[in-house]
Amino acid sequence: MKNFSRKQFLKTAAGAALVMATRVFSTPLHAADKFFREPPWKRKKPYWGFAVDITKCIGCGRCADACKTENEVPREAFYFRTWVERYIIRRNGEVNVDSPNGGMDPFLPPHDPETVTKSFFVPKLCGHCENSPCEQVCPVGATFKTEDGVVLVDRKYCIGCRYCIQACPYGCRYFHPVLHVADKCTLCYHRIKKGLNTACVEVCPTGARMFGDLSDPKSAITKFYETETTNVLKASMGTEPKLLYKGLDKEVR
C-alpha cells in the first residue's frame, strides 16, 4: 500500500509538473509564434512601403525627372531609379510598351488609334522586396535591408560584380557608369529619415504615388492597403515587394 501511494504521488507530481511546464513554456512560444506570423511591417516601427495608383497616373514623367535631380542619377537615357512605361493594348491582342527616356520625353500618340483598345501608364521603381533576391545573391553583403524595410546598396563596399542586376526580376537596378557600382532606388532614404516625402511622391501632380509607414494603422498607405484591391508585380516570384499597384493589368510585366 505504502509502495503504491508513493508511486501514485510520483505520477501525479510528474503529471502536474508536465502541465505546468507546458503552460510556462507555451506562453512565450505562443507570443513568439504570433510575432512571427505577423507581417514584418507590424513588428517594426516605422516600416516603409510604397503604392502606385495606375488609374491616376497621367504619364507626365515628372517623378522620373525629380528622382534624377534629387539622387544625381546619370542623365543618359539608360539609367533610371524610377521610370514610367506606357502600355498600349490593341484589338488583336498585341501589346506595345514604350518609355521614351523613362517617360521624361513626351509619349507620342499612336499612329493607328483605331486599333487600340486600352492604354495606361505604369510607373516603376524598386519594390524593396521582403524576400529580396538581390540582397540574397550579393557576394559581399553590399546590398542590405535596413531596419525600416528599405533595400539599399552600400556604394563604398559594392565590388561591381552585377550579380544583383541579374537577380532582380523587375529590372530595377542599373550599373552606375561613373561609380562602377550597382545602383537603384533608395526610397530617398536621406529624405525619409528626416520625415520628408520621397522626391517622386512630392512632385506627382495626381497623387498616383503614395509613400508611407505600413506599421502605422492610421497612415494613408495602410488605409490604401486595407481598402483597395491591389496587386504586386510578378507575385509568383515570391519576392513580396512592398510596392503595391492599384489597377494592375495582366499584361504588365
Q: Is the peptide bond before 46 cis (omega within 30 degrees of 0)?
A: yes
Least distance in Å: CB of 21 to another protein?
35
Q: Per CB under 8 A, does 240 bind another protein?
A: no
Residues 6+ apart with CB under 8 A from 48: 128, 148, 149, 150, 187, 192, 211, 212, 213, 214, 242
Residue closest to 250 by CA, chosen among 120, 146, 137, 151: 120
Question: How far is residue 130's CA from residue 138's CA, in Å, rounded to a whole number?
Answer: 16
Question: How far is residue 199's CA from residue 71's CA, in Å, rounded to a whole number?
Answer: 9
- Specify the stretch interacting with another protein by CB under 8 A; choose among 1-9, 21-29, 62-70, 167-175: 167-175
Q: Per CB under 8 A, does 166 bind another protein?
A: yes
What are the cell numbers at 5? Answer: 501511494
Q: Per CB under 8 A, does 138 bind another protein?
A: yes
The contact mask relative to another protein for 3-22 (x = CB under 8 A, - = no) is: --------------------
Task: Check: CB of residue 84 under 8 Å from CB of residue 68.
Answer: no
The contact mask relative to ligand SF4 for 169-208 (x = CB under 6 A, - = no) is: -x-xx-------xx-x------------------------
Q: Per CB under 6 A, does 124 bind ligand SF4?
A: no
Least distance in Å: CB of 216 to another protein?
31
Q: Per CB under 8 A, does 160 bind another protein?
A: yes
Task: Check: CB of residue 221 under 8 Å from CB of residue 211.
Answer: yes
Residue closest to 39 by CA, chosen among 217, 186, 172, 189: 217
Report the sign of the C-alpha dihedral through residues 206, 208, 211, 215, in that order.
Answer: positive
The contact mask relative to ligand SF4 for 208-247 (x = CB under 6 A, - = no) is: -------------------------------x-x------
- Specify the stretch interacting with ligand SF4 by CB under 6 A; choose among 100-108, 110-118, 140-148, 222-230: 140-148
Q: Per CB under 8 A, does 162 bind another protein?
A: yes
Residue closest to 50 by CA, chosen among 248, 187, 189: 187
Task: Check: CB of residue 48 under 8 Å from CB of residue 242.
Answer: yes
Contacts to another protein by CB under 8 A = 78-79, 85, 97, 133, 136-142, 157-163, 165-171, 174-175, 177-178, 180-181, 237-238, 253
Residue ranges in contact with ligand SF4 by CB under 6 A: 126-129, 132-134, 137-138, 140, 142-143, 151, 153, 158-164, 168, 170, 172-173, 181-182, 184, 239, 241
